[in-house]
A and B are shown apart, each in its own frame.
Chain A
Amino acid sequence: MALLQISEPGQSPDPHTRKFVAGIDLGTTNSLIATVREGEVVVLPDASGDVLLPSVVRFEADGRVTVGRAAQQAEIADPLNTIASVKRLMGRGRADVADSPYRLTGGAEGMVRIETVAGAKTPVEVSAQILAVLKARLEETLGGPLTAAVITVPAYFDEAQRQATKDAARLAGIEVLRLLNEPTAAAVAYGLDRNPEGLYCVYDLGGGTFDVSLLRLSEGVFEVLATGGDAALGGDDMDAAIVALWRARGARPESPEETRRLLRAARDARERLTLETEVAVDVAPIYAGRLSRDDLDAAIDPLIERTLVACRRVLKDAGAPVAEIGEVVLVGGATRTPRVRERVGALFRKEPLHDIDPDRVVAVGAARQADLLAGNAGAADMLLLDVIPLSLGIEIMGGLAEKIIPRNAPIPASRAQDFTTYKDGQGALAIHVVQGERDLVAECRSLARFELRGIPPMVAGAARIRVTFQVDADGLLSVSARETTSGAESRVTVRPSFGLSDAEIERMLQDSIASAESDAAARALREQQVEADRMIEAVRAAMAADEDLLAPGEREAIAARIAALKEARGGEDPRRIREEIAALDGASARFAARRMDAGLERAMKGRSVTEFR
């Protein structure tokens, strides 16, 4: 017997067509599912009343899979087959993961795999197990199938990680309405959309990821101005810092199990220190002692400082002074730590918002967004804009990256740019899609390569090839190239086996700031080199085609200039190359003029004058 809910006037659902949609916070430490019932967001608990599902999955030899608290309890006894914090491995290659408590395999290409007694598991499969449990929880609670969900991801997730999250949902039988950045979801949960227009900052320190987002609210619309963070920084690192302190005080864990017991005790002590100022710690026989809030603050201050550096960078990126930030929202369990609140408050010079449970706030926002996308919500048509974390572009001649969609562009986004051929009669064009902030392709991350074929024979520079980049609402990229005269077209959807690692994103961002100057110089040089090559190629082709038009001695003069230009091109001085290009241009100018006359004569031969009116 179905149980009914009250609907808004005129919106009673038809029987058998009720659509249950949900918001899912697929977290590093815990995962949650929330849905909107009678206009109110409810975070759904399991049968024992817990809303947090520990993101822990245990695989056993007989094929049994346990998820959540039961799996967590087996973590110490069966560490290699009990997978925690799998989110850190999503969309990563083996080479991206430095150290891990698990047995990881996987080649240079493709996603990392975790060896368990039940066989090798990809992070996608492990995440799908977590999602399946949440889905079952909702279906049991609401008595109907889950139609679709909004799943949240850290703002820093690249295409590969987003795709991996989507794959996990598909594997769990959940249609993804949209992937939503976690900080954006938190702002929605706080109903900041009803606040005065202005800038809002979301500080999200979870178990394993740190995100900071600067949102601008104008005319009821949220725009993510800038995002930043560190996807390998969170409460887990705080626990590790506490364990490091205990090691300094004599703790000597002798096995991975013992280390895990210490980590668990560290988390417990940290949580208790939210309300107390000193706690007793007893992890017999490995370690026993006391931990004060001062000890904790000293241990985690360097980690908090790293988050504040990211906050300042985001403010700088967006050119927003601290004084203009209307509210700061705290998200993630680790923000319960008093020291975090204190230092974030000091940076932004205001008390951060923290009245919604920081563990639930992302799921709450995701559920509101899901409700909205499913068309269940009422009048408030809130539109969320997310941004691209790193610029997207293609490789052009000379190994340069041409940015087509710049970093922090709101998505969904679509931009096109025209390119042309480099050689006469060039029939195909290789398109290399890259992501990054640097000017040189070698310093950016390669996302995909494809070819556009069937370009009709034309002189260099005559073809018009329109390259279009489209990023959908989930941040997934498709690139198409179209030669406009022939209509030849080719496209690719970027679905890399793994994308940028978070460390890479961080490093690339830092590099781009640090090396903007040397980049500009390198770019100038490469541009002149490409121009030199193009010029030499063109003059040689002309001389080969119209040898008879060369005046006596002209061939030698031009050849000498080509040789000089080639020598300059081999050097490092863009100015010299430019001068030599001008010299070659001068030496071949009269020859070029004769070619043009001859060409005109050929074209006009045998035609009546009227044709040229």
Chain B
Amino acid sequence: MGVTLTESAARHIRRSLDKRGHGEGLRLGVRTSGCSGMAYVLEYADQVAAGDSVFESHGIKVLVDQKSLVYLDGTVLDYTREGLNEGFKFQNPNQKDTCGCGESFSV
């Protein structure tokens, strides 16, 4: 299982990492906060931490810490355009509810 990227997500991440000039890959995670309990973490990763699971998807290294993996297992990260806006979307099978704005979720 683990975590995967769609092709468009991988392409965008590759471009962003190149522009940034450094970074091991991408870190995905969850933390508690927000109105329905949890929020996603989507960050550049500069180093692999102890306990990280490392997934490789379309040539991008995706790091997930142990605790987060419980909630993210099976997630597909997509990059889409909606109207004028574009950005990343978590397709998470563990997710039961989002708070309407999609910034936080519960499992």
Size of chain A's interface in residues, with CB distance under 8 A?
A: 27
Q: Which residues of B contact A8 (CB under 8 A)?
A: 43-44
In the complex, are the beta carbons of B16 and A4 less than 8 A apart? no
The segment out of A9-17, A92-100, A441-449 that lies at the interface is A9-17
Q: A9 and B27 in contact (CB under 8 A), knowing A4-B90, A16-B35?
A: yes
The answer to whether the Cβ of B69 comes within 8 Å of any Cβ in the partner chain is no
Main secondary structure of the interface of A (DSSP, over half): loop
The answer to whether the Cβ of B59 comes within 8 Å of any Cβ in the partner chain is no
A3 to B42, CA, bound (A): 11
Residue of B nearest to A142 (CB): B85
How does the 8 Å CB contact mask read for B1-45 relative to A, with 1 for contact and 0 for none?
A: 000000000000100100110000011000101110001111111
In the complex, are the beta carbons of B103 and A16 less than 8 A apart? yes
In the complex, are the beta carbons of B35 and A3 less than 8 A apart? no
The answer to whether the Cβ of B46 comes within 8 Å of any Cβ in the partner chain is yes
The answer to whether the Cβ of A600 comes within 8 Å of any Cβ in the partner chain is no
Q: A143 and B85 in contact (CB under 8 A), knowing A6-B16, A15-B103?
A: yes
A185 to B93, CA, bound (A): 46
B6 vs chain A, min Cβ distance (A): 13
Main secondary structure of the interface of B (DSSP, over half): strand
A590 to B41, CA, bound (A): 88
The answer to whether the Cβ of B80 comes within 8 Å of any Cβ in the partner chain is yes
The answer to whether the Cβ of B51 comes within 8 Å of any Cβ in the partner chain is no
The answer to whether the Cβ of A140 comes within 8 Å of any Cβ in the partner chain is yes
Q: Which residues of A contact B40 (CB under 8 A)?
A: 4, 12
In the complex, are the beta carbons of B101 and A16 less than 8 A apart? yes
In the complex, are the beta carbons of B102 and A2 less than 8 A apart? yes
In the complex, are the beta carbons of B44 and A9 less than 8 A apart? yes
Q: Which residues of A contact B82 (CB under 8 A)?
A: 1, 3, 143
Give chain A interface residues in 5-36, CB to chain B under 8 Å. 5-12, 14-16, 18
Q: Which residues of A contact B90 (CB under 8 A)?
A: 4
Size of chain B's interface in residues, with CB distance under 8 A?
A: 34
Could you count the A-B residue pairs with CB atoms below 8 Å apart for me: how many are there?
85
Residue of A nearest to B78 (CB): A3
The answer to whether the Cβ of A39 comes within 8 Å of any Cβ in the partner chain is yes
The answer to whether the Cβ of A284 comes within 8 Å of any Cβ in the partner chain is no
A19 vs chain B, min Cβ distance (A): 13
A15 to B33, CA, bound (A): 7
A449 vs chain B, min Cβ distance (A): 50
In the complex, are the beta carbons of B44 and A5 less than 8 A apart? no
In the complex, are the beta carbons of A15 and B42 less than 8 A apart? no
How does the 8 Å CB contact mask read for B53-75 relative to A, with 1 for contact and 0 for none?
A: 00000000000000000000000
A2's partner among B31, B44, B101 (CB-CB below 8 A) is B101
The answer to whether the Cβ of A62 comes within 8 Å of any Cβ in the partner chain is no
A36 vs chain B, min Cβ distance (A): 12
In the complex, are the beta carbons of A2 and B103 less than 8 A apart? yes
Q: A39 and B43 in contact (CB under 8 A), knowing A3-B82, A5-B88?
A: no
A48 vs chain B, min Cβ distance (A): 11
Residue of A nearest to B20 (CB): A39
The answer to whether the Cβ of B84 comes within 8 Å of any Cβ in the partner chain is yes
A6's partner among B26, B39, B85, B99 (CB-CB below 8 A) is B26
The answer to whether the Cβ of A47 comes within 8 Å of any Cβ in the partner chain is yes
The answer to whether the Cβ of A218 comes within 8 Å of any Cβ in the partner chain is no
In the complex, are the beta carbons of A6 and B19 less than 8 A apart? no
How does the 8 Å CB contact mask read for B73-107 relative to A, with 1 for contact and 0 for none?
A: 00000001011111111100000001101111000
A3's partner among B31, B34, B43, B89 (CB-CB below 8 A) is B89
Q: A6 and B43 in contact (CB under 8 A), knowing A47-B84, A143-B85?
A: yes
Give chain A interface residues in 143-187, CB to chain B under 8 Å. 143
A141's partner among B34, B84, B88, B102 (CB-CB below 8 A) is B84
B91 vs chain A, min Cβ distance (A): 11
Q: A14 and B88 in contact (CB under 8 A), knowing A6-B16, A6-B26, A140-B83?
A: no
Residue of B nearest to A4 (CB): B88
Q: Which residues of B contact A1 (CB under 8 A)?
A: 82, 89, 98, 101-102
Q: A39 and B39 in contact (CB under 8 A), knowing A4-B90, A141-B85?
A: no
In the complex, are the beta carbons of B103 and A6 less than 8 A apart? no
Q: Which residues of A contact B20 (CB under 8 A)?
A: 39
B88's partner among A6, A11, A16 (CB-CB below 8 A) is A6
CB<8 Å pairs between A and B, sample of 20: A1-B82, A1-B101, A1-B102, A2-B101, A2-B102, A5-B42, A5-B88, A6-B16, A6-B26, A7-B43, A8-B44, A12-B41, A14-B34, A15-B35, A15-B101, A39-B19, A39-B20, A47-B84, A140-B83, A140-B85
Chain A residues with CB under 8 Å of chain B are 1-12, 14-16, 18, 38-40, 44-45, 47, 137, 140-143
